[in-house]
Amino acid sequence: MSKTASMGDLFGGETVGGWLNLPRVEPDALAGVDIGVIGIGSATPYPVGSYCHDAPDAIRTERSWPAILDHHDFDLFDITPSSGVIPAGVRAADLGNLDVVADAAPEITAGNRRLIRETITTMLDAGTTPFVLGGDDSVPVPVLESYCGFAGGPISILQIDAHIDWRDEVGGETQGLSSNMRRASEMAHVGNIVQLAARGIGSARKQDVEAALDYGVAFHTMRRLRAPGGIERAVADLPEGVPVYVALDVDSLDPAVMPAVIGAAQGGLDYWQMMEIFEAIAARAPICGFNMVELMPSRDVNGQGALMASRLGLSMLGLMARQIARNAS
């Protein structure tokens, strides 16, 4: 069987680096790295399994052709000629995959979370903004815990997800993918939480919605988001200038454009709505971290989900890099 031609073949050359052909850098050599892309395949999976463990490499497979970041990007720059996605003076690198284990045994998941906290804390201490490719939606819990000593002070969270993730526990597990926003709300260094794109029926019960509302979550359900001005209103609920962690679950996208998820829900975001959300966040507050979780490679259709994830990640990376360049000047 012959290998199907890819964009990399079309443009020629070897892919020597990481995702988007970014330079590969070891996590202990972060000096001068502004944005560090890191694959975290597992944290605390439920007994169903760590079904997103291979997602970081599935995402890396797409759009990693040589010099991609030096080509003009019409989504980020329209027809204003640009010399690439990452502005001069900003350095992004791919730190590879964290050595976590795809297993739901408590001693394993505790080890995963410890390793994640150590690594993210090291990145934050080095002034490197974490750009996390998950993993299921349990990955953000230890990542967010790592911001307890963040030099930028307390953070806001903007979550984009079909599900609100406010369960206190599921089957006795408190650190799993349905509990990430509940756990985040308990962290002293987390202030405002704004949640976008909830829809359909997930695992949330009455008491979970009540707990989130009691906390003060600003919910902008999918129905509200798609009303005229909905995205603008949602992002305006972020306090201006406070560092914001952007927690993206790819099931916020419509299944038609993102088939590779376990929790598909009709009526989700499309690519341009997500771009509009990203751009509005970047205009509102400094992005101090980003995660993209819940891509399930075994559910993908012709690599379409991985391609979408990679494109969205590229857009976010470009916006974060421009923000860093703006703040430096």
Closest CB to Mn ion among residues 145, 249 = 249
What strands, in cross-sheet order, belong to the sheet with 190-196? Answer: 92-97, 35-40, 129-134, 287-293, 244-249, 155-160, 190-196, 218-220
Return the residue matching tokens 């603008």.
232
User: At closest approach, how far in Å is the CB of 50 from Mn ion?
Assistant: 15
- Using CA atoms, how far apart are residues 77 and 80, in angstroms rounded to an integer? 6
Contact region with Mn ion (CB under 5 A), list: 15-23, 132-140, 192-200, 320-328: 132-140
Task: Report yes or no: 41 and 102 within 8 Å, Cβ to Cβ.
Answer: yes
SS3 category, 126? coil
At a CB cut-off of 8 Å and minimum separation 6, what does 223 contact? 199
Identify which range of 71-79, 162-170, 200-208, 305-313 contacts Mn ion by CB under 5 A.
162-170
Q: Which stretch binds Mn ion (CB under 5 A): 58-66, 107-115, 154-162, 190-198?
A: 154-162
Tokens representing 61 are: 């497979």
Question: Exactly one of 34, 94, 137, 300 binds Mn ion (CB under 5 A); which one?
Answer: 137
Binding region for Mn ion (CB under 5 A) out of 40-48, 150-158, 165-173, 206-214: 165-173
| Residue (91 or 163) nearer to Mn ion, CB | 163
Residues in binding contact with Mn ion, number by CB under 5 A: 5
One-letter identity of residue 42:
S
208 contacts Mn ion (rule: CB under 5 A):
no
Q: Is 161 in the site for Mn ion (CB under 5 A)?
A: yes
From the list 94, 173, 249, 300, which residue makes contact with Mn ion (rule: CB under 5 A)? 249
CB atoms within 10 A of CB 280: 18
| Chain positions contacting Mn ion, by CB under 5 A | 137, 161, 163, 165, 249
